[in-house]
Structure 1
Amino acid sequence: MRIHVLAFDGLFDTGLATVLDTLSTANELAAAGGEPRATPFEVTVIGLRRSVRTGQGLAVPVTPVGRGAPPDAVVIPALGAKQPGPLRNRLARPDILEAGALLREWSGRGTLACAACTGTFVLAGSALLEGKAATTTWWLAPLFRELYPRVALDESRMLVNSAHCVTAGAALAHLDLALWLVRRASPALAALTARYLVVDPRPSQAAFVIPDHLAHADPLVERFEHWARQRMARGFSLTDAARATGTSERTLARRLHAVLGKTPLSYFQELRVERAVHLLQTSRYSVEQIAAQVGYADGVTLRSLLRRKLGRGVRELRANAAGTAG
């Protein structure tokens, strides 16, 4: 499988290194007999400019983009920008715009387009994600929705495969993306590579999302978030929420969807989950007591919700907190 990794000036060092190290580890394990039937990955780091330096200033040897046969897959690692302002500036650079044209050309010739973290913005900017499902760095989801409203974004997911485009979540999701490429060639080799790298499956970013961080992207959404935290145990009322935030129900719903891709009720429930997890990990309250504090009728409902939203149960959440504290 021929894979090109597209490198830009100022890219995120860890993203590039993670993709390259994961694929080279898979090649070594296959060659050592771990999965002899797996086809080796032919990985080339390419650039639209003759020289590339990472965000930490390291020089990256790159092969100039040629006019030969397109690769089987292209991987776009994260840009080094971590906040909306700097990221907007990066996306306006000539080399990023040129990358969009290259990605469209290759995609038209059968290349699988893959991106992780802020690299998903480059892929979305090529228009290849329009009308498709995708994920991205969770804390930049409001900006992604603003720039690419025709993409069906779900930032809670770690990885999304949608019609010849694959997107992965925040920084270390580069690992999930690289393992997905290995799994595509050989599930057995991917499982072996994950064991060597000591990686557990991570289907969701939801456990890492900080809801109020997202809310601060918009003053109205921030007011709603403040109101919701005060009302958590008493239940949800859209009418009350609109009145408290000084707007209409329709405007509130529209802003929540534009910024967060959620309804007011679903965001309210997300805040409940965040609060419940915090109490599970920092207090000795029973599940029943915590359920009452966040507005659920009983512990069974809360347990079911945590499992569905986070993919983890109460014991796992409390065990993880204990392990971190230790």
Structure 2
Amino acid sequence: MHDFTILVVPGAFAASVASTLDILASAATVSERLGLAAPRWRVCGPQPGPVALGHGLQLHVQPIEQSAEDPSCWVIPGIGVSDINLLESRLAEPWTVPFLSALSDHIANGKEIAASCSAVFLLHAAGLLDGRRVTTSWWLAPHLQMLAPGCRVDPDFMVLADHPLTTAGAAFAQTDLMLHLLRRRLSPEIAHAVGKALLLDRRQLQSPFVIPAVLVQGNALISRLIAEIEKSLPELTSVKTLATSVGMSERTLSRHVHKATGHSTRQLIQRVQLHKARALLESGEHSVEAVSALVGYQDPTALRRLMRRLLNATPRQLRQR
């Protein structure tokens, strides 16, 4: 019996697939040294034989064998897309029909599935996200929330577990996902040893990597709001002022902002402040007090709290990067 079934789909992000297999191989090595049971896994795909990954790489996979007796957690690395149009095209390919059915059946049999980055959209296509709290690549999160209003998409987190699903953020969050699965399904000792051996930090948040202007995906309204927020600094604009500037009520504006970004208008303002503050701190040209004033905070303590909550870092740590 297997602990994990790695599902590799055509065009999968090669680094995510490779890191998954390398982490499992490392786990097998360290578990032997620790005197613990080693992970058992198999690599499967929609069709048996060689499957093409990104950049011309190939990997031989077994067919997916469904069984109510299969206890393994199915793990789907990112499907290797760079924009929403390509994502939608990939989800319409012929292999997806039986693949999505297999995902649904595995959950119906009381088993678990884990996915990262764009692969979380496969869970949506299989009808598995309603009522769930999930994450995905931060720049894809608004699109997933639009497609799946019945779930809560939280792009701030690197990994979110909502049994029987576990989801992870952007492509290299696959490493965080695998450490989480090793920790939970095997032992914390194995996960810790693998992290040490491969120099993998335990990261909890995606929010430090979010770029507000990229998050909006060309949304004219949100782009305008971000520009107005940036222009207002250090005299920080208000939600009411932003709503008036675009001819909307605060409530209507909030609906539009949440639909496009997954955040409230106030949270959008904070992320613009935080993005500028981070850039100023990393330049090393300003004190924390000066940066706080430049982004609209009279009290540096408020900026420190925001950074701790959204970046899991202090101003001093950012200045050292």
Shift of 1:112: 1.1
1:27 and 1:235 mapped to 2: Cα distance? 53
Query: Pairwise mapping of residues 276-291 of structure 1 onto structure 2 (< 5 A)?
Result: 276-291=277-292
* Aligned match of 2:250: 249
Aligned identity (percent) is 33
Query: Pairwise mapping of residues 1-326 of structure 1 onto structure 2 (< 5 A)?
Result: 1-31=2-32, 33=33, 35-37=34-36, 39-51=37-49, 52-68=51-67, 69-184=69-184, 185-320=186-321
Q: Any stretches of 5+ residues in structure 1 without a counterpart?
A: 321-326
RMSD of Structure 2 on Structure 1 (CA): 1.4
2:292 and 2:91 mapped to 1: Cα distance? 44
Aligned residues: 317
Q: Secondary structure at the match of 2:75?
A: strand
Q: Any stretches of 5+ residues in structure 2 without a counterpart?
A: none
Shift of 1:293: 0.9
The answer as to whether partners of 2:215 and 2:261 remain within 8 angstroms in 1 is yes
* Aligned match of 1:323: none
Q: Secondary structure at the match of 1:295?
A: coil
2:97 and 2:196 mapped to 1: Cα distance? 38
2:141 and 2:264 mapped to 1: Cα distance? 15
The 10-residue stretch of structure 1 (120-129 or 263-272) with the greater mean CA deviation from structure 2: 120-129
2:315 and 2:292 mapped to 1: Cα distance? 12
| Deviation readout 1:12-37 (Å, 9 max, x if unpaired) | 10111111110111001112x2x212
Q: Secondary structure at the match of 1:224?
A: helix
The answer as to whether partners of 1:153 and 1:261 remain within 8 angstroms in 2 is yes
Which residue identity lines up with residue 54 of structure 1 in the other structure? L
Which residue identity lines up with residue 123 of structure 1 in the other structure? L
TM-score using structure 1 length: 0.93
Shift of 1:113: 0.6
Shift of 1:314: 1.4
1:237 and 1:301 mapped to 2: Cα distance? 17
TM-score using structure 2 length: 0.95
Shift of 1:309: 1.4
Shift of 1:238: 2.3
| Deviation readout 1:135-155 (Å, 9 max, x if unpaired) | 100111121112112121111
Q: Secondary structure at the match of 1:61?
A: strand
1:120 and 1:126 mapped to 2: Cα distance? 10
Q: Secondary structure at the match of 1:291?
A: helix
The answer as to whether partners of 2:47 and 2:62 remain within 8 angstroms in 1 is no
The answer as to whether partners of 1:137 and 1:155 remain within 8 angstroms in 2 is yes
Relative distance call for 1:216 and 1:182 in structure 2 (3 A) is closer
2:221 and 2:97 mapped to 1: Cα distance? 33
Structure 1 segments of 4+ aligned residues over 4 angstroms from their partners: none
Which residue identity lines up with residue 61 of structure 1 in the other structure? H
Shift of 1:301: 1.6
